[in-house]
Structure formats: structure tokens, C-alpha cells
Structure 1
């Protein structure tokens, strides 16, 4: 420690001499509003780094108390310690919500156990019973209603994209029932026109 102290004193004196030489040429240097020239500021920085009073410990007079020991139960109470609390987030908890997969598995196992019991009615079978089925007439009515919604043939306006009822009326209702010329008549007329065109083009070209 003494050798280190001597080294620091030597460095401080050398820095002091160097700073004095620098300050002799920088006395007229600007202060830039700090009140100190660049040489003075350099001298202050060097003296702060190599302080002569570094031998004094910084923690002088500070007392560090010992860490207290652990609090342990007595020898007679170690057998009667409280058990840690069980986690409530467990399937063993009666208030735990049953998942649909677990419920279906439980009902399937219950139905398997009571397969010879004639008085047992499984909820799975009740869900697929005929009470939830619709008749043929109801299915037909639902199909027609769905087709009307798909084709837009309902009377009242249901959606914003539907045009007003006044715009959905045709000027000539008879045009809705006009199916046009059948395809069979169109085919006969096409063949007849083709034969007529062929006959009219061969009277002046006998070699064809």
C-alpha cells in the first residue's frame, strides 16, 4: 500500500508540473461560458483522477451487521408442520369444468355399464332420438324457403342489397311466361336453310 501511495504521489506531481506548463500557454484561452479555461479544466480532471487522499478508505466508520440466521421451528413442532395448499387447477377438483370429450367418454362408459339394464336411457341416445327429427313436409318447406332466399323471390325486402319492390316489377308480365322458340324447331329451321342455300348455289355450278 505504501509503494502504491508513492506511485500515486509521483503521478500527481508529474501531472501538476505538466498542467502548469500547459496553463502557462493557455491563460488567454476562452472559457466558453464555464468560467474556466481549458487548461484549468484539464488540471481539475487530472487532480481528481490521481487524488493524493486516496489512501483514506471510503468505507471508514461504516459497520456491517451480520446476517441474521434462519427462523426454524422447534424440535417438538417439526412433526406438526402445516401441509402445503393443493392447487385448485386440477381435474380432481369437483368444481373443475368437464370438457365435451370427457363428458362424452363418461356417458359412453356409463352406457356400456348399463347395457343390460332395460330401464336405463342414455343421454347420447336421447340426443339422436326421433324427437329431434323433422318430417318430410317440414324438410320440403325449409328447402323451398331456402331456395326463395337464394333466388331472391321473397316478397319483402330483407337485405340492403335488395332493390326496392317497385324496381322488381316487370313492365310486361306475359314476357315472364314466354319460353321462346324450342330448340327442336330451331334445328329444323337451320337444316332447311342449309338445304335451300345448297340448292341455290348449284344451279349455275353444275360440276359441284
Structure 2
């Protein structure tokens, strides 16, 4: 009797828990028309679903037959390729060029080469390029590049003048908008224009010369 009572009690407890769970799932819908349990199930189902449900159906209808010519006895002639090795403008490979030059070169077994072969221009290089690439051409080019001491001094003066104008500007010409107008560069009538004044190094030496020996030694002491 005791076991029967316990069994009935456990069944009633399980039914109560299920009813409580169902009452929680069937709670308010908050204006959506879907319960909380149904919305949770829909969200989980949407997360686990791979791909989209709105797929367009693929048309698997068979394709039509290929259009074939009825006249198969006479075929059109093949078209000649615009770029082929038989073309006169076809580039020559290094192997073909080497074989052609060897075939055109004299035998040279007797040690004497024709004068025309010796004086002929090198293929693929002009006479000026051959002269510059040779030792004599390089020496002539270097000799023509030497400048005298006067020319070097003139170039140095011109370079210094360009550097000075670039740093300080030209007093008689305004080159950039960032530079002040020419009227602002003219000194005032009462200004000591052209007087460089006393050099700062000379002022320092004169000041150090008036010091006594003790003051000089004291200035050397670091403490």
C-alpha cells in the first residue's frame, strides 16, 4: 500500500511539473501572436538550418540540339594564322641567329680573314655604340669629359650662388609667394645696413681675456 501511494504521488508530481512548464511556455506573446516556447523553437530551428529556405528552383529542362550544317562534303579552307614562323616579321630565336652567323662567317682555316668581314659593322650595334664600348672610345669619352680649373671654379661659384638664393632669396626678385615682397626687404634709412658688427667669437675671446687665472681655474672645476 505504501509503494502504491508513493507511485501515485510521484506521478502527480510529474504531471504538475509538466503542467507548470506548459503554462510557462504558453505565456504572453507581447503582441507577436507567437508564444515564448514557439519563438524559442523557431530561433533554434533557424540557427541550425543550413542555407536559405527561399531558394529559386533550377530549370532542368533539356537543352536544344546543336545546329549542324547540312553540307558536309565541302568544308571551308583553314584560315592562315596571322602569326607564324613563316612570317617575315617573325622574331629570330638566339639559336637560329647563331646558326645563321656561323654559316655566313668565313672558314678562317688558313688564318686569313676577308677585309670586308673585318670592316663590317657588328649586327645589332651601331658604329657609335661600338666605338664607345671599345677601349679607345672609352678613353676618348673620358678625355672629352675633363674640365679646366677655371671651369671648375666657375661652376663652384654658380652652385654657391644658387644655394644662397635658395636659402635666403634674391633681394632683387621675388620667386615664391611665401617670400616677403621686395619692399619689405629694403632696410630703413636709419638702420645700420652693411655693418656686420662684431663677431660673437671675438666677443667671447675678449670676455675670456679679462678673467684672472683663479677665475679660469674655478670655471674648470666641475663641482
Please tell me the TM-score bracket, short chain as reference: 0.3 to 0.5
TM-score by length of 2: 0.34
TM-score by length of 1: 0.35
Q: Which has the higher contact order (CA 8 A, sep 6+)?
A: 1
